Amino acid sequence: MSDTRALTDRRRRVLLRVASVVALLLAWYAYTTAARTLLASPVAVAASFVEHFVVTGTLRRAIADALVHAALGYALAVAVGVPLGFALGLSERLAAAYDPAVDALYAAPVVALAPLFVVWFGLTPLAKTVLVFLFAVFVIIVTTETGVRETDRGAVDAARVFGAGPCVVYGEVYLRSALPSILTGLRLGAGRAIRGMVAAELFLYAGDLGSYLIDTAATFRMADSLAGVLALSLTGVVAMALVAALGRAATRSGS
């Protein structure tokens, strides 16, 4: 009975999401049909997406090239953010010393640092990688720290009473408790990495993706420009879904 109800609820959520997307597209189409506007219709955007992403592959190749820097910056953000967040969650002294800086940098508009990156790193791929890293790392630090800090101290004390060593306490108790928060941070970080990738293409030096976005907007090719936005949105959704799926697989294998 519970399985049937869960399946029904899942179908209802899917139908609600589909209905909301259809309603948005219909409203968009009606507006572009009734009003004289530079906003391209969803039909024109879809046609441009098929042409540039599927048929010619221009947009697909541009995003694939930009994803190299995004993947590297995201990997560095994970490698730094998870251990640092873990350390801040475990140590109140470290948290008191470094939380203000982490919170300030998390809230700061990272893209405002782009001109400084040009001075520090030049117009190089390193500048793009660092910008993506800064976009993604702080949300990973904050969510990891929160998950570790909310670990049940009673479970930690009980593990130590029964003779558990540091590997068990930190690897089993703390990590298992913080894992949902860590996975949330990794998923959000993946989305922010895509945003950092686009910012790097637009504000540092334009590769194929940046050139496409700038040229289509400058020449008022609204359908082509929005097709690029659509492709980037889908890329972000896929990246976040992939990270979430890997997290679920890791959770199942560890349980």
Calpha distance 177→187 (Å, rounded):
17
Classified as helix, coil or strand, 48 is helix
Provide the whole-model pTM: 0.82
CA distances from 206 to 72, 165, 171, 248 (A): 18, 51, 43, 36
Share of the chain above pLDDT 90, in %: 17
Calpha distance 200→17 (Å, rounded):
32
Average pLDDT over residues 76-82: 94
* Residue whose C-alpha is closest to residue 205's, from 61, 52, 65: 65
Calpha distance 147→140 (Å, rounded):
11
CA atoms within 13 A on the CB side of 5: 2
**DSSP secondary structure code for residue 37 in this structure:** -
pLDDT band at 254 (very low <50, low <70, confident <90, very high): low
Q: Is the pLDDT of residue 157 over 60?
A: no
Classified as helix, coil or strand, 23 is helix
Amino acid at 39: L
Calpha distance 91→199 (Å, rounded):
34
pLDDT at res. 193: 93
pLDDT (tens digit, 9 = 90+) per residue, 94-148? 888 888 888 888 888 888 877 788 778 777 788 889 899 999 999 999 999 988 8
Given a contact cutoff of 8 angstroms between Cβ atoms, the answer to whether 190 and 140 are in contact is no
Cβ atoms < 10 Å from Cβ of 181 = 21
pLDDT band at 255 (very low <50, low <70, confident <90, very high): low
Token code pair at residue 118? 């040009």
* Residue whose C-alpha is closest to residue 51's, from 241, 216, 205: 216
- The percent of the chain in helix, strand and coil, each rounded to the nearest 5, is 90, 0, 10
Element housing 56 (H / E): none
Amino acid at 100: P
pLDDT (tens digit, 9 = 90+) per residue, 5-63? 666 777 888 888 888 888 988 888 888 888 777 788 888 899 999 998 888 988 899 99
pLDDT at res. 134: 92
